[in-house]
Amino acid sequence: MSLQFTDRVAIVTGAGGGLGRAHALALAARGARVLVNDLGGARDGSGSSSTAAQAVVDEIRAAGGQAIANGASVTDPQAVQAMVDQVLQTWGRVDILVNNAGILRDKTFAKMTLDDFRLVVDVHLMGAVHCTKAVWPHMVGARYGRIVMTTSSTGLYGNFGQSNYGAAKMALVGLMQTLALEGAKHDIRVNCLAPTAHTRMTEDLMPPQVLAALAPEAVVPAMLVLASEGAPTRAIVCAGAGGYEAAHITLTQGVHLGLGPEVPEQLAQAWDHVCDRTDELVPENGSVQGSREIAKAMAAVR
């Protein structure tokens, strides 16, 4: 598998610091031309500044690479389209999109305002939708594309005080699952990356000795694989502190109980069997669930 990106063009959102900066620097170091997008806001999404994105561009150029800065908010579809137009006008193509932009507004669900819930979903989920929608026709036309969605263990497994963030991050997994299927015939490969890293998003959430092991650079190898020519598709890759794992959404073998007034009680009694993970599978698409349930029903009446 080649992990060189010579002549490839990449967009990395939220690339003014932390993970996004590490992603942009790594892609540029391996030959990609990179648009560095960052609104330059605070961790909660407030404010804006072009300084952070331009600083990363300056780093890339100082190392001999090619990069341009962009300060669009991923929540603004018109600004995102202008960002993609900027890439096309500068380099004539777009091969890679790393959807990394994000914010945090943590509170328990009871104390969280709907505005805070909605804004986090808008940035993480709709921001990725806007960016992906803008590059999609160009990738279809080129019959090539690599898209990396930044999900999170919070979305996959939950985390106290992050209902908004977790909802948005799990939604990105669902988006990835379908886009990977739709993009396959155009060689557009779509994957999710669940990072554990020390960035300004987490700097006051972990003790110093833990933060030292969680450099953003430890996540970058997973991104490079997912953005490469030989990338997989429909993968959920977890990465942090030098460790790499794959996460899966699985389906157990379950039971068939049929119809009838006694089924609720039967289901309650069979619950351990329903949840038994022996011989569980990873469905190829969403129709597998229904197909298996219909097959069980047909087998029961034979």
Residues 6+ apart with CB under 8 A from 288: 251, 281
Give the DSSP letter string of the chain. -----TT-EEEETT-SSHHHHHHHHHHHHTT-EEEEE-----TTS----SHHHHHHHHHHHHTT--EEEE---TT-HHHHHHHHHHHHHHHS---EEEE-------B-TTT--HHHHHHHHIIIIIHHHHHHHHHHHHHHHHT-EEEEEE--HHHHH--TTBHHHHHHHHHHHHHHHHHHHHHGGGTEEEEEEEE---STTTTTTS-HHHHTT--GGGTHHHHHHHHSTT--SS-EEEEETTEEEEE---B-------SSTTHHHHHHHTHHHHH--TT-B--SSTHHHHHHHHHHHHHHT-
Q: How far, in Å, are 69, 138, 140, 167, 280 from residue 145 at the CA level?
A: 21, 9, 8, 26, 31
Q: Are strands 9-12 and 236-240 parallel, antiparallel or unpaired?
A: unpaired
Rounded CA-CA distance 31/91 in Å is 14
In the set 144, 157, 165, 244, the catalytic residue is 165
Q: Is 165 a catalytic residue?
A: yes
Q: Greatest CA span in the chain, whole angstroms?
A: 72
Give the catalytic positions in this structure. Answer: 165
